[in-house]
Amino acid sequence: MKRFRAKILSALLVATMITATACSTQQQTPENSQIETQTSQSIPTSQQTKGEDENMEEYYIFELSDNVTRTAVNYKNRYGIELSADLYTSKDLDETQTYPAIVIGPPYGGVKEQGPGVYENQLAQRGFVVLAFDPSYNGESGGEPRHISSPEIFSEDFSAGVDYLGSLNYVNREQIGAIGICGSGSFALSAAAMDSRIKAVATAAMYDISAMGNSMDSESRNAMIKSISEQRWNDFANQETAYTRNYPANAPLDKLPDDLTGLDVEWWTFYGLKRGWHPNAGGAFTDTSMLPFMNYSLLNHIDSISPRPIMFITGDIAHSKAFSETAYDAAAEPKELYIVPGAMHIDLYDDVNKIPFDKLETFFKDALK
Q: Which pTM does this prediction carry?
A: 0.90
DSSP states of 98-157 = -EEEEEEE--TT--TTTHHHHHHHHHHTTT-EEEEEPPTTSTTS--SSTT---HHHHHHH
> What pLDDT was estimated at residue 209?
94
pLDDT confidence of residue 24? 52
pLDDT, residue 45, reads 35
What is the count of structural domains for the chain? 1
Query: What parts of the chain have a pLDDT lower than 50?
Result: 1-22, 25-53
CATH number of the domain encompassing residue 227: 3.40.50.1820
The letter for the amino acid at 107 is P
Per DSSP bridges, beta strands 82-90 and 129-133 are antiparallel
Residue 147 domain boundaries: 2-367
pLDDT for position 112: 98
CA angle 112, 128, 183 (to 5 degrees): 35
DSSP H helical ranges for 168-241: 184-194, 211-215, 218-238
Give CA–CA dist 248/35, Å, rounded.
Answer: 6
H or E element at residue 312: strand 310-315
Bridging pattern class, strands 201-204 and 82-90 = unpaired
The pLDDT assigned to 57 comes to 84
